[in-house]
Structure 1
Amino acid sequence: MLELAFPLTTYRDRLTDVQARMRATGLDAMLVTMPDAVHWLTGVDSVGYLWPQALIVPAQDGGEPLFVTRTTEEPGVDACSWLSHRRFYDISVTDPVQALIEAISDLGFGSARLGIETEAFTMLPSTYQQIVAAFPDATVSDCSYLVPEARLIKTEAELAYQRQAAAIADYAMTIVFENIRPGISELELAGIAAGALGEAGGEHAAIPPMVVSGERSALVHCMAGRRVLGRGDVVCVELAGVVHRYHAVLMRTATVGEPGPRVREVAELQKQSHLAAIDRTAPGVAVHEPEDAARAVLEPAGLHKNRCHRIGYSLGVAYPPGWLEPMTMVQGDPHVFAPGMSFTVEPNLHLPEEGFGLKLGETVECTSSGPRTMSGLDHELFIA
């Protein structure tokens, strides 16, 4: 039975839009290798992207794409995608890159204007070099952002999946907080988070739940370790609910017992900066302005220097190892907020010199009437 998250007409509309974008940029065909882009266009849902594979998309309106992947993936492609043009290679006897080269040649694109995602972990330099060398008459250009840009404005159906994912994330965070106590380890809490996400119907996320505590709470992107929580510890938790691969990210901070005055002070300023940033994600606003708003709160207190990365980025469909889409809330990004965009807002702070860090973030959508957070949790420091 075919398993698709949307009606077939949705995928056809997406393909038509992408093909129009291809023609506008002068492409005859392109190789799509990033798993989120392949899934968004076709429904394919597997970890087959660990080996060379590609969706070869012709630019002509109505042209059918060809998916080239391993024989192992055939049952999943049949079950999860609408594709009728598929080619499978046996990895035990066939060079995967040669399989891609043969498919490009057979489709008549050997001397075409060919797009390749060069900014993709799924396009190894050696693979790229072999493809370019095989087609000296082709004009090769980068198409890394063509499909991601088409995904930035989401439909109501897509946003509905993200809202479901956000509710799952809220549930998991609540369960984690209920289990914070002296003597429990970061790994145990991360396991509880994963279990709660699955219990609520969440799929595997592009990044597993992250839990750091005590002095490790300043290590923003570290995985959970074997450290055992003690009284007075700060505990940072980041996780994501996922529905039909649509992600909703959630970040919160707790303390084991009453926090010290400095932790309280910084947490309050972080909350104010977070709310100020969300307020600047309205339609027509340049995407760097939330960072400006957060800076206005944090800089007078000397905390802007402790902001550890961009304050937000767009997200939606994602696979390991990451969940970012191309819009990022930094100076120089040309995007402007528009209804249908969804993104994180996360003014995370790390103060390693003071022995702690704080996380506060969630998924927000831009509506015609302004920003709306997808999380139902408050923004207060949680005291366990």
Structure 2
Amino acid sequence: MTFSAIPLTGIPFPRSEYERRQKKVLENVARTKLDALLVTGHSHLQYLTGYDPSTGAYFAPFPLILVPGRAPIFVVRAYDEAAVRANSCIDEIVTYIHRPDFAKQTANVLRQYGLQAKKIGLELDAWGLAPADVSALQAQLPEMKVTDATDVVRLAKAVKGQLELEVMRSAMTLTDLAIKTFQGSLREGITETEMADTLSETLNKAGGRLVMPVLAFGERAKLPHPSPAQHPIRNNQPALIECGGAKSGYSVGVCRGAVLGRHPETEALHALAEEALEAAIAAIRPGVTAGSVDAAARTVVERAGSPQALRHRTGYSTCPHWSGHRGNVSLEPGATHLLEAGMTFHMPIHLFGDSGYIFGCSEHVVVTENGAEILSRTPRTLYRA
């Protein structure tokens, strides 16, 4: 079967780009003195292969086995083989049918390479691998030396190449279009679902796709991560949106706040969020720790006398998806990862008010040699309708 002939399939980037990424990761494998790396984090797999495993690897891990000097091998469920072949750059694929067979087939590949008693890196701090999976693999290869190697791909993926940055800037153009449409469509009586339909239609016409994990009007802005509901906005109520445009498998988002009329509590939260976000962005430059960027934002909130208002990290590295996958570089208290030019971060500052509102704004930035480049061209200031 010729899988490449299936309509609307294929890899978003040239094969040479994925080979560049794999080479970069294999250099990290050698540097950390690993004999092999099993990549199982979903965003890491998409970064290295082009295939988005979120629709298939919910079932069991789809490990990409990277061994220095050898072509990468994908171990996937037989049900998903056609999708993997059609949408990835990997030629060597081994399949399994039932979930327990994942460990058996993966162990077989490692034995064929003479790695059954070697040092194998697993992504223990990323989604895609459960403790039971690790135990099952260790039972198949009792002499295997397991080490946490999440950072091997995490740090490579965090630094974007030029092709990635071009796609991200293009996706942000769609994101800005969605935000401007949101602002222009905000009126009394419109529901969250009506707004979501309007934004989706607008981006579809522009040749992109809408990703929107957050849209909340009025009292529903007291919920974390609320998805659109049949709920209308009324005068003197707030509206919060987190959305992004998606292109070539990459989605790039921002958060923006608005008020229909006046709403003093969320207006004050937004003003403080803007100040904290500005301080965090000003702290960004190559060589600083991720924790110091988080501290810059947290200091502003604490100085305002509201230390409990900020109940999350300041940001996380992004793409292929912008949402915070476990396994990304995190801007959080005490984080020791060093920032490098080319890293990209989504930095949402959502503050909790006394009556329960969760409100604020965000930016999507690229670390540059001199600081940070803000990708969005839509002002982060509170929109008043």
Does TM, scored on the shorter chain, surpass 0.5? yes
Between the aligned partners of 1:121 and 1:299, the Cα distance in structure 2 is 32
Residue 164 of structure 1: aligned partner: 170
Between the aligned partners of 2:192 and 2:137, the Cα distance in structure 1 is 45
Q: Residues 287, 144 of structure 1: CA spacing in aligned structure 2 closer, same or farther, 3 A cutoff?
A: closer
Between the aligned partners of 2:63 and 2:175, the Cα distance in structure 1 is 32
Residue 183 of structure 1: aligned partner: 189
Aligned ranges for residues 1-384 of structure 1 at < 5 Å?
1=4, 3-46=10-53, 47-60=55-68, 62-91=69-98, 95-203=101-209, 205=211, 208-256=212-260, 258-318=261-321, 322-323=324-325, 326-351=328-353, 353-354=354-355, 356-384=357-385
Between the aligned partners of 1:133 and 1:355, the Cα distance in structure 2 is 48
Between the aligned partners of 2:277 and 2:149, the Cα distance in structure 1 is 34
Q: Residues 156, 308 of structure 1: CA spacing in aligned structure 2 closer, same or farther, 3 A cutoff?
A: same
Between the aligned partners of 1:183 and 1:362, the Cα distance in structure 2 is 29
Give the aligned length: 377
The letter of the residue matching 2:10 is E
The letter of the residue matching 2:178 is A
The letter of the residue matching 2:67 is A
What is the CA-CA distance between 1:377 and the residue it aligns to? 0.5
Between the aligned partners of 1:116 and 1:355, the Cα distance in structure 2 is 40
How big is each residue's C-alpha offset from its partner over 1:15-47, in whole Å with a ceiling of 9 and x where there is no partner?
Answer: 222222222223212221222212221222342
Between the aligned partners of 1:76 and 1:28, the Cα distance in structure 2 is 29
The letter of the residue matching 2:56 is G
What is the CA-CA distance between 1:252 and the residue it aligns to? 0.5
Between the aligned partners of 2:13 and 2:216, the Cα distance in structure 1 is 37
How big is each residue's C-alpha offset from its partner over 1:279-301, in whole Å with a ceiling of 9 and x where there is no partner?
Answer: 22123333333333334443343
Contact 1:316 1:325 in 2 (8 A): no
What is the CA-CA distance between 1:314 and the residue it aligns to? 1.2
Aligned-pair RMSD on alpha carbons?
Answer: 2.6
Between the aligned partners of 1:34 and 1:286, the Cα distance in structure 2 is 23
Contact 1:212 1:223 in 2 (8 A): yes
Between the aligned partners of 2:142 and 2:303, the Cα distance in structure 1 is 58
Q: Residues 90, 273 of structure 1: CA spacing in aligned structure 2 closer, same or farther, 3 A cutoff?
A: closer
Give the match's secondary structure for 2:38. Answer: strand
Greater Cα offset, 96-105 or 111-120: 96-105
What is the CA-CA distance between 1:322 and the residue it aligns to? 4.5
Contact 1:288 1:330 in 2 (8 A): yes
What is the CA-CA distance between 1:71 and the residue it aligns to? 2.6
Contact 1:211 1:235 in 2 (8 A): yes
How big is each residue's C-alpha offset from its partner over 1:164-205, in whole Å with a ceiling of 9 and x where there is no partner?
Answer: 111111111222222222222223333433443444333464
How big is each residue's C-alpha offset from its partner over 1:67-91, in whole Å with a ceiling of 9 and x where there is no partner?
Answer: 1112332332332222221122345
Between the aligned partners of 2:314 and 2:35, the Cα distance in structure 1 is 37
Greater Cα offset, 334-343 or 286-295: 286-295
Contact 1:239 1:251 in 2 (8 A): yes
Contact 1:220 1:350 in 2 (8 A): no
Give the match's secondary structure for 1:127. Answer: helix
Q: Residues 129, 355 of structure 1: CA spacing in aligned structure 2 closer, same or farther, 3 A cutoff?
A: closer
Q: Residues 210, 171 of structure 1: CA spacing in aligned structure 2 closer, same or farther, 3 A cutoff?
A: same
Greater Cα offset, 108-117 or 134-143: 108-117
Between the aligned partners of 1:120 and 1:287, the Cα distance in structure 2 is 18
The letter of the residue matching 1:176 is F
What is the CA-CA distance between 1:235 and the residue it aligns to? 0.8
How big is each residue's C-alpha offset from its partner over 1:220-246, in whole Å with a ceiling of 9 and x where there is no partner?
Answer: 323333432211111111112222232
Give the match's secondary structure for 1:148. Answer: helix
Contact 2:104 2:140 in 1 (8 A): no
Between the aligned partners of 2:324 and 2:314, the Cα distance in structure 1 is 16
What is the CA-CA distance between 1:53 and the residue it aligns to? 4.0
Between the aligned partners of 1:30 and 1:189, the Cα distance in structure 2 is 44
**Identity across the alignment (%):** 27
What is the CA-CA distance between 1:373 and the residue it aligns to? 0.6
In structure 2, the gaps of 5 or more residues are none
Q: Residues 284, 18 of structure 1: CA spacing in aligned structure 2 closer, same or farther, 3 A cutoff?
A: closer
The letter of the residue matching 2:52 is D
Q: Residues 301, 3 of structure 1: CA spacing in aligned structure 2 closer, same or farther, 3 A cutoff?
A: same
